Structures are given as structure tokens and as C-alpha cells.
Structure 1
Amino acid sequence: MIELDISVVMFLIAAAFVAGFIDSIAGGGGMITIPALLAVGIPPLQALGTNKLQSCFGSFSASFHFYQKGHLKIKENLPFIAVVFVFAMIGTLSVQVFSADFLSKCIPFLLIIFAFYFLFSPKITEDSSHRLIGVIPLALVLGGIGFYDGFFGPGTGSFLMLAMIVLGGFGLTQSLAQAKMFNFTTNIASTLIFALSGEILYSVGLLMALGQFVGANIGSRIAIGYGVKIIKPLVVCVSLAACVNLLYKQYF
């Protein structure tokens, strides 16, 4: 049992608050919380499991707020939710067996591409457009991202948003809302697997959940209020920050 003093607990709650705020707008909250958990001496697998637990509260808070404001239609997304859930569970099982080295080398370059796409593409607006692929192909794409989130994680929010905008034809705020719902789904799936594996520190995770919940609630309100003006630049910044973080870990 890891014992943490009050200053460390407050540090983790503050980290979760900031992560929840950023994650609800642009994704990438794990870039803050996972290093914070590792920094206080929590082993890697327990850090990942605890992070997924506390992330559930942030993604739920953001999803619920988007739902209240009419940006989410749960019934229409149930097939996608089911696929994402199953694939995320498989990804979380896989990360406990296989190495993520290959993904750590490839993902930074994908994040760069996505960041510049968000920055320069005229398609990134609040307006919906024509869906490029059918329901089944889109479900498989989302399932692949769900597997990735369970297995590795960085940039998942950006990938989900991009899939919904480019392939699904949804507007920016609606895509963000759906991304949060799918992210909540992947977090629940991963948390269940980590719980069965005994890799969650519940006391730490639930305390951090307080910060996550509040931060995500505030962030989702700002996202709805300011729309593309704040979502687009934050997605670009978070994607590039995730890229730099991964490249630094890989080569330095």
C-alpha cells in the first residue's frame, strides 16, 4: 500500500483538475496525470490503471454536460459505443502482454499531421458536412482508436475528433461531444480490466476524480461557449505537446 502525504495528494488533485479541463476541450489529459502519478512513485501499470479510473469521472462530466446541452444523441451512437468498448478492453489486455515501443515511434508523426490538418483545414468548422464512409467502416475506425486508447493512449481525443469530423461529417462541437462520450467508454472498459488485474489505487484515483470532474465540467462549458475559437487552437497545441512528449521519451 502506497502512502501519500497531504501535499502529494493536493498535487495530484490539482494535476487532475488541469487535465480534466484540457481533456474536455482538446484531449491529452493523460499527458498531465500519468507523469504526475509516476512522479510520486506509483509503478507504471498502477499509474495507468489509476489514471483510467480518475479519467472516467472527467470524461463522464464532460459527456454529461454536452448531453444536457443537446450535443449528444446516445441512441444513435449505441453501435459505436459497443464497438469502442470491446476494442478498448482488448487493447487494455494487450498492453499488459505486449510492448508499446512500435506505437511510441509512429504516433508522434501522426500527431504532427493531425495538428497541421486541424490548423489549416477549412473543413474544421461548426457546420456538419457529408459523411465520407458508411456506419460499419466508421465503427471499425472508432474501434481501432478504442483499441489504441486501451493499449497506448496519447492523442486519442484528437484521433476521435478527427474521425468524426473528416469521416463522420460532424461539426466541431458535436465531434468533440462524441469524442468525449467514446473516451468515457474506453476509460470504463480499461478501468474494468485494470480492476480485475488489481492495478488500481482506488484511494488515489477517487481523490483525483474530484479534480477531474470539476475541471472537465468547466472545460466543457467553455468549449460550448466559445466553440471553434478555443477548440481548434487547443487541439493543435495539445497534439503538438503530445508529439514533443513522446519524441522526448523515445530519443532522449
Structure 2
Amino acid sequence: MHDIAFSVLLLLVLAAFIAGFIDSIAGGGGLITIPAMLIAGIPPLQTLGTNKLQSLFGSGSATIAYARHGHVNLRKQWPMAIMTVVGGALGAVLATIVPADVLSGLLPFLLAAIALYFAIKPSLSDQDRHQRLSPFVFGLTIVPLIGFYDGVFGPGTGSFFMLAFVELAGFGVLKATAHTKLLNFGSNVGAFVVFILFGAVLWKVGLAMGVGQFLGAQVGSRFAMKNGARVIKPLLVISCLALAAKLLSDPANPVRIWLGF
């Protein structure tokens, strides 16, 4: 692939900064970075691989910021992070045999349901609640499954982690956000290794965008820690609905094909 013009690269870095800010709070940064790279002329496979590289900087940056302020204990949570690494790697390897058309058809409705849940649930706050699954069971089942999904398909992973942490692990919204970034980092690592093996990473673009992601995530995570659930909840709802609308707007989406429009 020919080199990207410097002006285009700067725009990609700016897109990565904005994505890092949003993703560190509510997820959905890929809504910005993936279309930006495709518009810049990067082929789809290289876009996915490069997106994983730059996402590592954003999720890693947010994780560090949340850990420094005590919202996630890295020493205690590393087993769950390892499970997402394994899940993400297996998902990326097995992506070719998973019915992606079914996933892309169902996902907009799942995201809309998650948005509705966070919009109307009155008791959601930064306070921890009753956990429905023990940390061991949660880390052994839910965590690798969502990590696997991230490797296979990707969009909405942060929303699924948020819902799982709040409903099953009993975390408050801010704590759930912090742990979501840690597990996002793990699944990104797993999938990224596979993309490296397939030669699907544009290093110059990914590292440049990674700088933007890192800085954006630092700003976004601090904004989230300052404002808590009152800013995370609406941004999460908006992120879910925007991603659902983006997926449904694709002419190749199975739902549009099935309905004939």
C-alpha cells in the first residue's frame, strides 16, 4: 500500500483522539476510527488490524488512569484480563467460520436493548450492587465469551462488558467502566497478535493514531472519574444507539437485505 499523505495521517490522529476520549467513557470508539481509515483508503483487513493496534493505546491509557485512582486493581484482576486475551485470540483465529451475517443482523437490536436498559434503569449509580455471579464464575465464563466476540466481530464489546459488570458482577457504573477498559485491552492484545501473524497491521498509521488514542483516553477517563454515572450513562446510551444506526445503515446489513430496502 502507498504511503498515506501527512495531512491525512494528521486527520486520522485527530479521529483517534476523539475516539479515545469517547471510548474511555462509554465505548464505541471504533465508530470513528474504522470509517476514518476506510475513507483514507486503507483496505478492510488492514483497517481491522491497524485499529486493534491503535486501540491498544486507548484501552491501555484508560486502564492506567483508572488504576491510578483506585477504580481497578490490576494485580487482582489480571486473571480476567488473561481470559480476554485468550478469548480475543481464539475469536480472531476462528472468525472465518463464524456466521458474521447473523451477528451483524442481530447486533443492532442487542445494542438498542442495552441502550434502553441503561436509559430507563433508575437504580444505576456508582455504588456497587448485589452480584449474581461470583468473580471466579464470571471470569471463567462471561469474560472469555465477550473477549471471543471481540476477536470474531468487535462492535459493541464495551457495551456488553458494561452490561455484564453491572448486572452480573454488581459493579457500580464507574467501576464497571474501569474494568471494561482493562478487559478491552486484553481482548485487543489477543486479536492483535493474530492480525500481526496475518500481516494485517500498518505500523506507521497504527502507532501515530495510538498517540491520539492515548491522549484522548487520558482526557476522557479523567472526565468520567470526575462526573461518574451522570455522564457515563447518557454517553453509553448514545454510543449504543449510534453503533446500531451505523450497522443498520450499511446496505449489506442482513436485516436490510431480508426486508428488501
Letter in 1 for 2:53: L
Query: Which residue matches 2:223?
Result: 222
CA distance in structure 2 between the partners assigned to 1:60 and 1:2 by the alignment: 29
5+ residue gaps, structure 2, are none
Residue 210 (structure 1) shift: 1.0
The residue correspondences of 1:107-126 to structure 2 (distance < 5 A) are: 107-126=107-126
CA distance in structure 2 between the partners assigned to 1:82 and 1:13 by the alignment: 29
1:194-216 CA distance string (max 9 Å, x none)? 01110000001001011101101
1:128-149 CA distance string (max 9 Å, x none)? 0111012343121111110111
Residue 79 (structure 1) shift: 2.4
Over 3 Å off, 4+ runs: 96-99
Query: Which residue matches 2:9?
Result: 9
Letter in 1 for 2:182: M
Letter in 1 for 2:103: L
CA distance in structure 2 between the partners assigned to 1:99 and 1:133 by the alignment: 29
Query: Which residue matches 1:167?
Result: 168
Q: Do structure 1's residue 210 and structure 2's residue 211 form an aligned pair?
A: yes
RMSD value over aligned CA atoms? 1.2
CA distance in structure 2 between the partners assigned to 1:136 and 1:72 by the alignment: 17
CA distance in structure 1 between the partners assigned to 2:183 and 2:151 by the alignment: 12
CA distance in structure 1 between the partners assigned to 2:170 and 2:77 by the alignment: 14
Q: In structure 2, the residue corresponding to 1:127 is in which secondary structure?
A: coil
Letter in 1 for 2:175: Q
Query: Which residue matches 1:27?
Result: 27
Letter in 2 for 1:116: L
1:11-30 CA distance string (max 9 Å, x none)? 11111011000000000001
Query: Which residue matches 1:60?
Result: 60
Q: In structure 1, the residue corresponding to 2:94 is in which secondary structure?
A: helix
Q: Do structure 1's residue 141 and structure 2's residue 125 form an aligned pair?
A: no
Aligned residues: 252
Residue 75 (structure 1) shift: 2.5
CA distance in structure 1 between the partners assigned to 2:150 and 2:28 by the alignment: 11
Preserved contact between residue 98 and residue 152 of structure 2 (Cα < 8 Å): no
CA distance in structure 2 between the partners assigned to 1:62 and 1:199 by the alignment: 25
CA distance in structure 2 between the partners assigned to 1:74 and 1:164 by the alignment: 16
Q: Percent identity?
A: 46
Query: Which residue matches 1:78?
Result: 78
Query: Which residue matches 1:186?
Result: 187
Residue 96 (structure 1) shift: 4.3
TM-score (norm. length: structure 1): 0.97
